[in-house]
């Protein structure tokens, strides 16, 4: 194991269960909080902010129980600058092997106005409350809320007071997400230079994402000397959220060449906890979110997929396995090329010659134009579809159906029969029956429909339906299949596919020839 010196080690402080849970609508149940805390502990989070014990009985119970169950992480509770808050917080975190009290007060002019305290009165409050917390607990964190909009001289003054009163960590919050990376770094540097005793404690950075700069601001603070990053899973948090744990941790890992700092996080646990937090908070992760978004390791364009198949590093700066994913995803869509299609079909067990691939590729592109994403099952359906429709004697040219609660359902169909187009309109008991009646009207036959089966082979409302039909005429048995996002279209094509086979069979076999075979393969 590498010996990580204190200078290079950055502590990860996760506040998903406190700041994250404060996001409107993200409330978690007691059991969910315990589950997330245990996942955070397992993944190597140094400090878990488990809640705000005085806020409610539920928060108190959650923080207490998380504290009891914690294995490796420090368990922290939040408290305002009041003795009652701090006492309640200690009551909850005391069960942890490593408890921490985190107390805070807003120090900017806007925030000082709320309790209507003068600068001196607030300084005195900070001295009293931090001293009180430190008398209860060896591990005390203090935060000047809205630090980035607090006058620098006053900030230095109150930080010094908190350090002298016994705070072991000083957190510098960008409460409103107003700061920029250069300022974030300058602020930490300024505090380290000007505040007596600053080198004895740990500076933390706590950034909100109102301008989309939270992760950049946190990393800039680290480069300036902060050694604790406060963050949440998926960037959950008030308004635009907080610095995302997965982003800072992976940035430090992937760009260790320019940011030589280590965390204790097992990054392979990232994807699992991200999914659990999304599920329990009800805050779905946006598809293109860094690291944990559905598309973060997905490549769709032909050029990208081709590059990925040759060398993953062409378009990936980290391995999906590093964050706990099984592998890269090459979703097939309208931008995919032949190389990706061949590779995917090969994985599915279809080895194709070049000319076969050419044909399948045309059908694949037609499908991809209609569907957002083409799944494995779509491809299987595609591979099973009619052999060479161009040579079919009967071809479906156009179909329009009217269906709904008010019958009769009607189908307007145009078929090309031996190169000649003919059209009709028919009604029926439902759109499929109407469409089949139209086929019969245009191409009269005595074949009996023995089986009609619809199978939605993919999920979602844009799923492909595979339709199979079986028909019998004078003992000849034929089947037809088709797949389409429109079930009625798939049904008519499958029916017509079976009729085409019947025409071929009529030429090749005498009536009744199939009977023995059928009773053998299908005793029903
Ligand atoms: O954003 C903030 O200032 C906070 C404090 C309580 C640290 O969350
Ligand atoms: Zn916050």
Three-state SS sequence of 427-487: EECCHHHHHHHHHHHHCCCCCEEEEEEEEECCCCCCCCEEEEEEEEECCEEEEEEEEECCH
Helices of type H across 323-430? 338-347, 354-370, 376-384
Give the span between the Cα atoms of 170 and 8, in whole angstroms.
Answer: 18
Instruction: Determine the pLDDT at residue 333.
Output: 85
Residues having CB closer than 6 A to ligand 1 are: 19, 104, 143, 145, 171, 173, 175, 206, 208
User: What is the number of the ligand closest to the CA of 174?
Assistant: 1
Q: How far is the CA of 266 from the centre of ligand 1 (A)?
A: 26
Q: So what's the pLDDT on residue 516?
A: 30
The percentage of residues in the chain with a pLDDT greater than 90, rounded to a whole number, is 65
- Give just the sign of the alpha carbon dihedral 283, 289, 292, 295: positive
Query: How far is 296 from 76, CA to CA, in rounded Å?
Result: 32
Q: Is the separation of the CB atoms in 337 and 303 below 8 Å?
A: yes
Contacts of 360 (CB under 8 A, 6+ apart): 341, 345, 352, 382, 383
Residue whose CA is at the smallest distance from ligand 1 atom 5: 145
Residue with tokens 């072991």: 168
**Ligand 1 atom closest to Cα of residue 208:** 1
* Residue 177 burial (C-beta neighbours within 10 Å; 0-12, 13-18, 19+): buried
Instruction: Say how far apart CA 118 and CA 124 lie, in whole Å.
Output: 10
Task: Show the tokens assigned to 464.
Answer: 């492909």
Q: Cβ distance 216 to 181 under 8 Å?
A: yes
- 132 C-alpha to ligand 2 centroid (Å): 23
Residue of 13, 14, 19, 204 to mutate, ligand 1, most atoms within 8 A of C-beta: 19
Ligand nearest the Cα atom of residue 173: 1
Q: Which ligand number lies closest to the CA of residue 175?
A: 1
CA distances from 483 to 115, 215, 333 (A): 68, 46, 17
Give the model's pLDDT for residue 523: 23
Q: For atom 1 of ligand 1, which residue has the closest CA?
A: 175
pLDDT value for 6: 56
- Centre of ligand 2 to C-alpha 134, Å, is 22
Q: Determine the Cα–Cα distance for residues 10 and 440; give it in Å rounded to an integer.
A: 75
Residue 483's contacts (CB-CB under 8 Å, 6 or more residues apart) are 378, 381, 382, 384, 385, 457, 464, 465, 466, 467, 490
Q: How far apart are alpha carbons 31 and 119 in whole angstroms? A: 42
Place of tokens 């902010």: 49
Write the CA distances from 51 to 59, 141, 400, 418, 444, integer angstroms.
6, 14, 59, 75, 74
For residue 242, the ligand 1 atom closest to its alpha carbon is: 1
Distance CA 304, CA 458 (A): 25
**148 CB-near residues (< 8 Å, 6+ apart):** 172, 173, 174, 175, 176, 178, 179, 183, 184, 187
470 phi and psi angles, rounded to 5 deg? -130, 135
Q: Which residues pair with 411 in a beta bridge?
A: 401, 426
Q: Which of 18, 52, 79, 104 to mutate to test the pocket of ligand 1 (most atoms within 8 A of CB)?
A: 104
Which of these, 212, 194, 191, lies nearest to 202 by C-alpha position? 191
Structure tokens at 152: 């620098």
Q: How far is the CA of 173 from the centre of ligand 1 (A)?
A: 6
Q: Name residues of the chain where pLDDT drops below 50.
A: 1-5, 513-524
As a dihedral over the C-alpha atoms of residue 128, residue 134, residue 140, residue 143, rounded to 10 degrees, the angle is: 0
How many A from CA of 22 to the centre of ligand 2? 9
Q: Are strands 169-174 and 409-417 parallel, antiparallel or unpaired?
A: unpaired
Report the pLDDT value the prediction gives residue 389, as an integer from 0 to 100: 64
Task: Give the span between the Cα atoms of 345 and 338, in whole angstroms.
Answer: 10
- The answer to whether 39 touches 276, Cβ cutoff 8 Å, is yes
Q: Which atom of ligand 1 is nearest to the CA of 104?
A: 6
Q: 175 C-alpha to center of ligand 1: Å?
A: 6
Cα-to-centroid distance, 120 and ligand 2 (Å): 25
């Amino acid at each position: 194991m590498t010996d990580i010196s204190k200078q290079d080690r950055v502590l990860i402080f996760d506040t998903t269960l406190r700041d994250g849970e404060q996001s409107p609508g993200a409330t978690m149940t007691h059991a969910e909080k315990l589950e997330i805390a245990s996942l955070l502990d397992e993944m190597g989070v140094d400090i878990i902010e488990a809640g705000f014990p005085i806020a409610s009985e539920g928060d108190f119970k959650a923080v207490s129980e998380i504290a009891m169950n914690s294995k490796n992480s420090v368990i922290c509770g939040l408290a305002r600058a009041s003795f009652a808050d701090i006492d309640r917080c200690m009551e909850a975190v005391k069960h942890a092997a490593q408890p921490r009290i985190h107390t805070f007060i807003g120090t900017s002019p806007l925030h000082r106005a709320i309790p209507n305290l003068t600068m001196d009165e607030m300084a005195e409050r900070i001295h009293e409350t931090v001293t009180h917390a430190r008398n209860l607990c060896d591990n005390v964190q203090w935060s000047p809320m809205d630090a980035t909009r607090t006058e620098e001289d006053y900030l230095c003054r109150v930080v010094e007071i908190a350090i002298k009163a016994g705070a072991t960590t000083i957190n510098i919050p960008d409460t409103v997400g107003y700061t920029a990376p250069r300022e974030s770094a300058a602020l930490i540097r300024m505090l380290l230079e000007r505040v007596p005793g600053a080198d004895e404690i740990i500076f933390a950075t706590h950034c909100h994402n109102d301008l989309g700069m939270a992760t950049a601001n946190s990393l800039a603070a680290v480069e300036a000397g902060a050694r604790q990053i406060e963050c949440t899973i998926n960037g959950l948090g008030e308004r635009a959220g907080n610095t995302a744990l997965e982003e800072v941790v992976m940035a430090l890992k992937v760009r260790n060449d320019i940011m030589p700092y280590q965390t204790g996080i097992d990054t392979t646990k990232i994807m699992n906890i991200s999914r659990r937090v999304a599920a329990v908070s009800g805050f779905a992760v946006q598809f293109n979110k860094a690291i944990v978004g559905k598309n973060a390791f997905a490549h769709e364009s032909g050029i990208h997929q081709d590059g990925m198949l040759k060398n993953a590093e062409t378009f990936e700066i980290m391995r999906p396995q590093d964050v706990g994913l099984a592998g890269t995803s090459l979703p097939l869509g309208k931008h995919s090329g032949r190389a990706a299609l061949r590779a995917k079909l090969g994985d599915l067990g279809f080895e194709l010659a070049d000319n076969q691939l050419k044909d399948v590729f045309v059908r694949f592109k037609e499908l991809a134009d209609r569907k957002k994403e083409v799944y494995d099952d779509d491809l299987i359906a595609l591979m099973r579809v009619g052999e060479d429709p161009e040579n079919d004697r009967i071809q479906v040219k156009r179909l329009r159906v009217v269906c709904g609660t008010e019958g009769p359902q009607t189908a307007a169909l145009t078929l090309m029969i031996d190169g000649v187009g003919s059209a009709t309109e028919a009604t029926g008991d439902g759109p499929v029956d109407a469409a089949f009646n139209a086929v019969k009207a245009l191409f009269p036959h005595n074949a009996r429909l023995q089986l009609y089966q619809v199978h939605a082979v993919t999920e979602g409302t844009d799923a492909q339906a595979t339709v199979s039909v079986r028909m019998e005429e004078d003992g000849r048995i034929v089947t037809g299949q088709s797949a389409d996002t429109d079930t009625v279209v798939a049904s008519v094509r499958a029916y017509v596919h079976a009729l085409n086979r019947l025409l071929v069979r009529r030429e090749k076999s005498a009536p009744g020839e199939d009977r023995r075979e059928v009773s053998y393969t299908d005793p029903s």
